[in-house]
Amino acid sequence: KNQVEQSPQSLIILEGKNCTLQCNYTVSPFSNLRWYKQDTGRGPVSLTIMTFSENTKSNGRYTATLDADTKQSSLHITASQLSDSASYICVVSSNNAGNMLTFGGGTRLMVKP
């Protein structure tokens, strides 16, 4: 069964600090891995997308890494801002006919002033 597990479940940091979120997956066949940001009551918004051959990808203050051998990924947020408070979800796409996504449970990040 395809699974995506994330840690920690929740995290509180002070504004301006950095943090790293973790993701482990067992999804087959693997197509790509993406990190989403989801504000409460809203749809997920894509931050980064990485294929099997990509080790790292940045989008502004967000940097994602992927180790396809160990099936692990991380999302590093630098110089956090209050607006970064949200759930960050690791999502793996399966290379099947429907391109369905398997979602992790997310890390709920709270940035405090």
Which residues of the chain form contacts with other proteins (CB under 8 A)?
A: 31-32, 34, 41-46, 49, 89, 93, 96-106
Nearest approach in angstroms of CB 112 to other proteins is: 22
CB of 33 to other proteins, least distance (A): 10
Q: How far is the CB of 88 from other proteins (least distance, A)?
A: 13
Q: Which is nearer to other proteins, 31 or 78 (CB)?
A: 31
Surface-to-core class of residue 81, CB atoms within 10 Å of its CB (0-12 exposed, 13-18 middle, 19+ buried): exposed
Q: Residue 39 Cβ, how far from other proteins at the closest point, in Å?
A: 10
Distance, in Å, from the CA atom of 53 to the CA atom of 85, rounded to the nearest integer, reads 30
The residue among 4 and 80 lying less far from other proteins, judged by its C-beta, is: 4
| 8 A C-beta contact, residue 108 and residue 87 | yes
Question: Is the CB of 41 or the CB of 60 nearer to other proteins?
Answer: 41
- Chain-centroid distance, C-alpha 35: 3
